[in-house]
Every structure is written in structure tokens, then in C-alpha cells.
Structure 1
């Protein structure tokens, strides 16, 4: 017989859950306070599962969870929480809870199913499911404890219809993790659509997200659905959300609060049911303190927070990552010697997995033989010295440019190859966007080289100060 422990200070809920699960053949024990919990003799009572309320008048649910897992590690715990404490519920998962459920219980069938699945599943089956999905997505979990805990947490929250915020340095694999969350969710048969908020101008991003009506602006020759509409039943991934302008942040806040939006040029309200996953390579909480990001939007996005560790903090995973990256190049059997792998593990990889991927591609491309063995002598001098080839900030800028240019070329070629009607005005607008992004990138790089000296930057780029401010969208700044 299954032994179930229920910890909830609301007597009515305790009685209801007791009656529900006793009718299913469970042996149920109910306690209504932390004091009653402390009196349980765990040496005589072996529980298979527990349902613990996060908020008790005389105890903290997280403390009770820690005590329960210490006394009976095999007991599977479900945290009961209100929406306002979901962030704490995610912390409970990191402490060993198997799942959480929101109160009030709107659907009893879901509650029963959740407990039944919890009791049926084992640690090995869950781990196998995680590994199978990760392999399908192309996500390398590796051996690092922090990365393993991160993926387990992501897998557990994937089935919940809550917003997820992923933070991590450029190149750590934020989009791959977002795809993993989508794949582990109940929306996995619906679209996964991503957009980089920093690679598109404000006007184009607004149209991209919310759509536009025919004639809404110059070049809008036909109605276009936005991503919130297209991905309504699926997952929308907002990459580099910190790069969104103030105006876009306001519109994002509204759609997250109301689930409603309007196409550009329309007065009709549309509804979206998309699951949002946002990502940022900067710390959004620090951006809020610096007045660069709206505080209210940050709290809306920060329901479930996942932070991907940089590659330098998971060096033991580098051999497995290299093996995975080599498998992309099917016409070779190149390997790395143990000494070469040790050298690569000693390098800091400021560009993270993206830099490692580019490095492996270069090695395969430049190798004289398809079955070569790479030794330390074949590695770049900077990697052998264990020092970054570029400063991290400069590497991030170049990697951003690389990603934007690749995306721009693919989108433009796709439009050129279309056999049906082509919106030439939109193509020309993308060309202006390319000019803007490339211009800003050159200015930012040169500003860094001149330590922020704008006059010297303008001189090196052979442009006027007025032109420099224009490209940086500082048109109203005086000379």
C-alpha cells in the first residue's frame, strides 16, 4: 500500500486530499503544522510520497522538505504553492522536490495524474528520458554537477505553463536549452519560434512580434501575422531580451500581463497562449539597477530562472563536447590526443561552446588528413598558452556579428528564392537594418580600442561626429 504524507495548515484541504487519495487505496497521514510534522517518527513511518505546502504559520515548507529528504531520501515530494511563490517552488525542486502543483487545485484529474505519475516514475527512467531528449535536441549535458542539476530542473518545469528566463554568457547554448524545454513540454508538437531582439531594429521587431495590417506603414503591402500569433500554442523564444528598446519592453509587459496584443496598424485585440522563454547574456537584475531594463518586466520574466554555466566552469565536459562536434563532420575520423585535450581544458574559452564549435570546424577544415590525430603542436599558440585569443567583450561582439550576418544572409536568400510574390520593400528594409547593425558594430569595436574617445573613433573610421551619433541613434545630441 502506498503511504502518503500531506502537510497543509488548511484543515479543509487536508481533509479533501485525505478523502481523495484514501478512495484510491492510499494510506494517508495528514499534519497541519510544522509542530505536528516534527513529531512524526520517521523510523516507523515510511512514506512513498509527500505533499507539502510551502507556507505554514509556524514553519517554512522548504525547511520541512530538507528534513523529509534527510530522513527519507527515497520519498518523492510535491510542493503545493500559489502562483506568487512559484519562484520558491523552483528552489524546492533544486532541493530535491520531484514536482510542484499550484493552489487552488482547478483540475482534480490533473492532481491525481500528477501523483500517479510521480509514484510510477523512477530516478533511472527520468534520467533516461532526459538523456534521450537531450540527444535528440543536440544538448550535451556532460558530467558537471551544476549542469546536471540545471537540466533536471529545466525538465521538471518544462511541463508547467510558466515563463522561463535563461541567463548565461554568449555562446553557452541558451537557445539549445530553450529547445530542450520546449521538447520536454506538452507543447512539443507545436511550433518553436525564436527571435533575436538585438538583431532587429525596433520597428521591424514590433512587426515581427505582433504582426501588422496591410498599409500600416510604407512597404506593408499585405497583412502579416506576428510571432505571438503564429506561436500561440507553442513556444516563443526571445533571445537577448535585454536589447529590446523601452517601447518594445512596454509592449512585452502588456502582452505578458493580459495575453492580449494588437497588430501594428490595427485596433482589434488578439489573444495569445504562447509559452514564453526569454534569454539574456547580461544579468537582467543588474540591468534593472542600472535603469537599462524595466523592473516590472524583469519580475514578469523571472518566474523560473535558469543560469547556464560558462564553459570554463565545466571543463571536464570539453572532451565530450568535442566528440559531439566532430560527429557533425561525417567525412573524417579526426581525434584529439589526451595531451591536446588537457591543453584545451586549460583554455578559458571566452566565446564558450560557440567558440569551441568554430575551433573544431577550423581544425577539421585545415587538417591535412581525414584521420589525423591532433596534438598540442597542432593547436594555436594562444590556446597552448591558456590565454584568451580575444578579450571576452570583443569576442562577444564578433560572435554576435557572425550570428546576425548568417541569419541575415539566410533570410535574404530565402526571400530571393521565393517563387511567389515578394515584398521588396521589406527586403530593402532588411538591407537598411544590415547597414545599421554593421555600422554600430564597427563603432563599438573602435570605441573600445580608443577607450571611449569618440573623436578618435570618428577619425579612425573616417566619418564625422555627426555621422557617428547618427549611426548610434543619437540624432538629438548636440555637437
Structure 2
């Protein structure tokens, strides 16, 4: 029989949970304090535990720690009241499977949570839910433990209606993680709207976020819905939140505190239930100490903080990541082992974005099946001083044009009867010249576009597939 431990000092709450699960055929054991918890004979008998974050004689996190140590297979749910959500989030970081807020609002959700966690504790096989969702969203996790812990934790807190702050260096994938959080939440069918707070001016940013009424300023010819209103039932992603001006920070603080905002030029408060995910490559705590970011706004944003590790801290994933990015380009190129070693050693200040750009550029200027040796890597990676370029083999313009002149002269001689060459042979020679012409013009265009195949193809009116054909069929 499935056995559930309930560590709760509020008798009514404990009785409710016990009755709820006993009616479903579960066995329950109730302890009202840490002393009674210490007297339990067989901790291994429990598949699931509901633990109040505050007991009379002991912190719920201490109970969690002791139980996970004595019964690692037991899944734990922390029960928390208003104002202790950060403690519950800390509990998840320390091994809790989930948390619920009291008073309970959705009993069916608690039942579903319990069933799922009990099944997990009984050893269900297969890919973890968080990893499966990440793979389906093209989120590259690799084998790095920190990335798996990050996405597993994100999966647990995604369904909660709490604000999330994502920090990480430029190019680490903050928006990718934000989309993942949205997909793992109950809002996944609702809009996901993102805005870069540093990419537009202060006046335009406020209009984009809050909307405006007709006549609010010059050019406001109609009412406009802002992102807070448009994303009211979904997720609003505020990228580079540190770039928001002080005036905008004040207005953002009001929305986070009250759920209300005012359109520019408007007089009627409006409400939003949008889930806020903010991101910054700047450490907001340091920015707050320096006075460039409001401390009270930081407190509102930093309910849950997710920090994405830079690529240099997950070097073991770089070879697999290179292969994944090559597959996304649909190009058949191979990086030599020496090249991969150099790329693993490189620090990647631009992180995932920089690596993706290097792979795309390499694929664009390389022939199908080409082996990418160290001399074909950017100088900053290979340590060589030459710029990033792939030598483009081409025939001398003078030689190519001379071949055409010679061929043209022969066509004239055949036509006049001065050359005994048969027509079929002449047509074969003509086809060879056609391919030579295409290849020569492609090489010339690649040279003029610094090896950029997309630009070269556009100039010639060809597709990249046609370019590959002509270069491989000389």
C-alpha cells in the first residue's frame, strides 16, 4: 500500500490531507512536530511526504534534509503559506520535488501531483519529463550536470504563478530558457511576448509595455494595446531589464506590486495577470548596489533566480553542440579532431551565440564533405593571425577567358567545315564549358563576397544547392 507522511502542525490541514488520500486507498502517517518525526521507525516505508515549511520545534527544511537522507526514494512536497515562497523555492533546490501554497485552492492539482510523484518514486523508467520537454523545444542540455539541474529546477517552478529572473552572460540562451519555462507552465497555450528593454527608447518602451490612448502624444492617432495587456493570460518576457530607465523601473514596480498599470495618457487603471520573466546579462544585485537599478524592483523580480552557466564552464558539451549545430545547417561538413580540440579550449565570450555563428559561417563557405582543419577556423580560435577565410580555388580569369576564345574559334571552324569534329563531340565540349563557366563565376562571386554563399547565390540568381552542384561537378 502506498504510504504518505504528513508533517503538519495545523490539525485541520493534516486531517484534510489524511482523509483526501485515505479515500484514494493510501496509508497516511501524521506527525505534528520534529520530535514526533524523529520517533518514526521506518522512514523507507514512505513514497511521498507533505512537509510544512514551519513546525513548532523545527524548520521544515531540516525535516526535508533528514528525510531525504534516510529515505532518498521518498518524494517531498513542501507546504508553504503566504510570504514564504522563497523558502519553498530554496527547498526545491535542496531536494523537494514540488511545493504547494496554503490555503489550498486546487485540490485536484494536489491529487495529480501526488500521483505523479508516487509513480516517480516507484522507479518509472524513460526520459525525465524536463529533459523530454527540453529536447522537444530544441534546448541543448548535453551532459553537463549544472545545465540538467537548471532545467529540472525550471521545470518544477514553471507551473507556479511566480516571477522569475534569468541571469547569464550574453549569448548563453536566456530567451531559450524563457520559452522553455512558458512551455512547461499552464500558460503554454497563451501568448508569449518578449521585448528587449534596451533596444528601444524610453518613450517608445513605455508605449510598448503599457499602451496608450488616442491623443496621448503627437502621432497617437488611435488607442494602442500594450504588451502587459496583450500578454495578460500568458507570459511577458522582459529581456535586458537592467537597461530600463529609472522612470520605467518605477512603473514596472507598480505592476509587479499591484497587478495594475495605466496606459500613457489614460486615467483608468487596468489589470494584468501576465507571468513576468525578466532577464539580464548584468548582475542586478551589483547594479542595485551601484544605484543603476532599483533595489525594491530587484526584490520583486528575484523571487526565483535562474543563472545560466557560460559555455566555458561546460566545455565537455562543446563537441556534441558542434555536431548539433552542423545538423541544423543541413550542411555535410566535418570538423577535424584538432579543430574540435581548439574550439573546446577557446573561452567563447559570446557563448552559444558565438559558437552558432562560427558554425553557420563555416558551413556557408565550405564545400559538402569538406573537413574543417584548424587553418580554416577564425584566428581568435586557431591562434593564427590571418582573418577567418577559406581559400577559394579559382582559375585565373585570363586562362578561363582564353579557353572560351579557343572554344569559340573551334566552334566557328566546325561550322565552316574547317574542323572535322562531329556535332556530338562539340556538344560534349560545350557542356564541359558550361560547367567550367558556372564554376568560374561562382568562385569569382564567392571571392567578392568573402566566401558568403548566401550573398554569392543571391548575386548569381542561384540557390545554395545549385552552387554545391556546380562546384562538385566540374
> Scaled by the length of structure 1, what TM-score is found?
0.77
Alignment partner of 1:342 is 2:341: yes
What is the number of residues matched between the two proteins?
Answer: 385
Q: Which whole-Å deviations, capped at 9, do the CAs of 1:20-47 have from their partners, x for residues lacking one?
A: 222222111011111111221236x510
Whether 2:139 is the aligned partner of 1:139: answer yes
Counterpart Cα distance in 1 of 2:197 and 2:89: 27
Output the CA distance in 1 between the equivalents of 2:61 and 2:383: 46
Unaligned 5+ runs, structure 1: 390-479
Q: CA deviation at 1:174?
A: 0.2
Alignment of 1:291-310 (within 5 A): 291-310=291-310
Paired residues of 2:214 and 2:223 also in contact (CA < 8 A): yes
Which range moved further: 96-105 or 232-241? 96-105
Contact persistence 2:164–2:301 (CA under 8 A)? yes
How much does 1:283 deviate?
A: 0.9
Displacement of 1:140 = 0.3
Larger deviation, residues 281-290 vs 149-158 = 281-290
SS in 1 for 2:329: coil
For the residues of structure 2 that align with 1:251 and 1:340, how far apart are their CA atoms?
50
Distance 1:261 1:48, change over 3 A: same
Write the deviation string for residues 278-318 of structure 1: whole angstroms up to 9, x where unpaired. Answer: 00111111111111111111111111110000010011111
- Report what 1:315 is aligned to: 315
2:62 corresponding residue in structure 1: 63
| In 2, Cα distance between equivalents of 1:323 and 1:82 | 47
Deviations 1:308-331 (Å, cap 9, x if unpaired)?
A: 00010011111222122212212x
* Equivalent position of 1:119 in the other structure: 118
Larger gyration radius, structure 1 or structure 2: 2
Residue of structure 2 in register with 1:401 after alignment: none
Q: Would the alpha carbon gap of residues 124 and 27 (structure 1) be closer, same or farther in structure 2, given more than 3 Å must change?
A: closer
Q: Do the aligned partners of 1:348 and 1:386 also contact (CA within 8 Å) in 2?
A: no
- Partner of residue 370, structure 1: 368
- Which residue does 2:247 correspond to in 1? 247
Deviation at 1:121, TM superposition (A): 4.2
Runs of 4+ in 1 over 6 A off after TM superposition: none
- Distance in 1, Cα, partners of 2:119 & 2:225: 43
Q: Relative to structure 1, is the Cα distance of residues 124 and 373 closer, same or farther in structure 2, using a 3 angstrom cutoff?
A: farther
- Aligned residue for 2:173? 173
Aligned to 2:442: none
- Offset, 1:127: 4.0
**Residue 378 of structure 2 is aligned to residue 384 of structure 1:** no
Alignment check: 8 A CA contact 2:375 2:384 kept: no
**Aligned ranges 1:38-77 → 2 under 5 Å:** 38-42=38-42, 46-77=45-76
- Structure 1 Cα separation of the partners of residues 267 and 323 of structure 2: 53
**Contact 1:42/1:71 (CA < 8 Å) preserved in 2?**
no
Tell me if structure 1 keeps the 8 A contact 2:131–2:152: no
CA distance 1:114–1:73, change in 2 (3 Å):
same
Kept in 2, the 8 Å contact 1:343–1:386? The answer is no
User: Measured at CA, do residues 22 and 297 of structure 1 come closer, stay the same or move farther in structure 2, by a change above 3 Å?
Assistant: same
Deviation at 1:82, TM superposition (A): 2.0
Q: For each residue in 1:144-169, what CA deviation from the matched residue of structure 2 results, as whole angstroms up to 9, or x when unmatched?
A: 11111000000011111111110001
> Unaligned regions of 5+ residues in structure 2, if any?
388-474
Q: How does 1:59-458 map to 2 (within 5 A)?
A: 59-121=58-120, 127-330=127-330, 332-367=331-366, 369-385=367-383
TM-score calculated relative to the size of structure 2: 0.78
Change (3 A) 1:277 1:24: same
Q: How far, CA to CA, are the matches of 1:77 and 1:344 in structure 2? A: 42
| 1:90/1:153 contact within 8 Å kept | no
Distance in 2 (CA, whole Å) between partners of 1:136 and 1:311 is: 21
Q: CA deviation at 1:98?
A: 1.0
- Measure how far apart 1:381 and its partner are: 3.0
Q: Distance in 1 between matches of 2:356 and 2:370?
A: 18
Classify the secondary structure of the residue corresponding to 2:84.
Answer: helix
Distance apart, 1:242 and its partner CA: 0.8
Cα contact 1:188–1:234 (8 A) shared by 2: yes
Q: CA deviation at 1:237?
A: 0.2
Deviation at 1:346, TM superposition (A): 0.5
C-alpha contact (below 8 Å) 1:42/1:72 kept by paired residues = no
